[in-house]
């Protein structure tokens, strides 16, 4: 479904703030699989997600999605294939528009926006049913501005919006990081239910060890703009939080060496 080859991106190239965010990422995701990406701050995991979504154009490499080469596609064009939930609950919804209007925009994701009415009785009915299933008491507030809702409610709605039209790829960018633990749990439950229910191909970035261990069928660990671990199938199922911490510590120990030596050792022994 998603094929990434040799993806590279350097921000602020040539300046003192130069950051090599992606240093050649290769990733192949099968249709229907749920991939979780972890890594420390600055490892490039969010950058990878952003590159797939089209937030910027890569310096080198190729991104193929659903058989199409989307490397040069602008973000809005990729939205036909991609549903997306952001880390910040404020990013995924238009605060001064109503719940129904936000959902109506999502119901037209990637389609031409013409002079048809954005909201129809039929659509409102459908919104009402799906929102009732969230059990958040929002079904009677379809005409309230989304800005009046809590972060968790907005994130749940964003998830609903991202998947309203079945996306070929669902991108989740630490979408529970800004929520309190209880709300985060609710949103994760909802995520599981939607991903499993629709059989969505999903790429999810997270900070949480707990989520990394319990969610998905494949785990990718990133470090300094590269994928350093790729844990699949049975190994992923057996994975415990302690193993993950051990892996992290291993990476950290390697980092104690200066980058040049580490690079040399890697070249020699890995």
Partner 1 sequence: MNLLLGSFTIGLILALLALGVYISFRIFNFPDMTADGSITLGAAVAAILLVHGVAPIGATLAGAAAGAAAGAVTGLLHTRFRINGLLAGILVMTALYSLNLHVMGRSNVPLLSTATLAKEAEAIGLAALGGQTVFNCFGWEVSVSDMAMLVFACMAVVVVCIGLYLFFRTNLGTAMRATGDNPQMIRALGVNTDTMIVIGLALSNGLIALSGALLAQYQGFADVQMGIGMLVWGLASVIIGEALVRSRGLAMTIVGAVMGSVLFRLMVAIALRWGLNPNDLKLITAVFVFVALILPGLTARIQRRKEAVVMSSLTSK
By the criterion CB under 8 A, which residues form the site for partner 1? 53, 74-77, 79-80, 82, 84, 86, 90-97, 101-102, 104-106, 108-111, 113-119, 145, 161-162
Q: State the minimum distance, in angstroms, from the CB of residue 2 to partner 1.
A: 17
- Cβ distance to partner 1 smaller for residue 96 or 182: 96
Q: State the minimum distance, in angstroms, from the CB of residue 69 to partner 1.
A: 18
Distance CA(202)–CA(31), nearest Å, equals 9
- Cβ distance to partner 1 smaller for residue 46 or 247: 46
Both structure tokens of 107:
């119901």
Q: Give the N- to C-terminal CA distance of the chain in Å, as an integer.
A: 29
Answer yes or no: are the C-beta atoms of 236 and 217 closer than 8 Å: yes
Distance CA(201)–CA(73), nearest Å, equals 20
Q: Residue 6: in which H helix or E strand, if any?
A: strand 2-11
Q: State the minimum distance, in angstroms, from the CB of residue 88 to partner 1.
A: 9
- Cβ distance to partner 1 smaller for residue 154 or 218: 154
- Point out which residues pair with 39 in neighbouring strands: 222
Q: State the minimum distance, in angstroms, from the CB of residue 185 to partner 1.
A: 24
The owner of tokens 């985060």 is 184
The owner of tokens 């479904």 is 1
Q: State the minimum distance, in angstroms, from the CB of residue 80 to partner 1.
A: 6
- Cβ distance to partner 1 smaller for residue 144 or 232: 144
Distance CA(45)–CA(89), nearest Å, equals 19
**Which of 155, 21, 32 has its CA nearest to residue 84?**
155
- Cβ distance to partner 1 smaller for residue 114 or 181: 114
């Amino acid at each position: 479904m998603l094929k990434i080859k040799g993806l590279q991106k350097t921000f602020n190239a040539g300046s003192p703030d130069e950051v090599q965010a992606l240093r050649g990422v290769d990733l192949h995701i099968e249709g229907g699989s749920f991939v979780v990406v972890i890594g420390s701050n600055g490892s490039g995991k969010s950058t990878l997600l952003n590159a797939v979504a089209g937030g910027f154009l890569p310096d080198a490499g190729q991104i193929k999605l659903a058989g199409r080469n989307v490397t040069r596609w602008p973000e809005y064009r990729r939205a036909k294939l991609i549903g997306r939930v952001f880390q910040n609950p404020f990013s995924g919804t238009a605060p001064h528009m109503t719940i129904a209007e936000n959902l109506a925009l999502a119901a037209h994701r990637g389609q031409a926006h013409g002079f048809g009415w954005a909201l129809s009785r039929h659509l409102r009915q459908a919104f009402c049913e799906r929102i009732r299933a969230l059990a958040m008491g929002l079904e009677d507030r379809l005409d309230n501005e989304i800005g009046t809702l809590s972060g968790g409610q907005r994130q749940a709605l964003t998830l609903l919006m991202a998947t309203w039209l079945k996306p070929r790829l669902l991108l989740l960018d630490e979408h529970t990081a800004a929520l309190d633990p209880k709300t985060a749990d609710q949103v994760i439950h909802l995520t599981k239910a939607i991903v499993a229910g629709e059989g969505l191909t999903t790429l999810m970035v997270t900070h949480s060890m707990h989520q990394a261990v319990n969610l998905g069928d494949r785990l990718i660990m990133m470090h300094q703009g590269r994928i350093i671990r790729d844990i699949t199938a049975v190994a992923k199922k057996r994975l415990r939080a302690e193993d993950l911490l051990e892996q992290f510590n291993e990476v950290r120990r390697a980092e104690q060496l200066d980058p040049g030596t580490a690079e040399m050792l890697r070249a020699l022994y890995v």
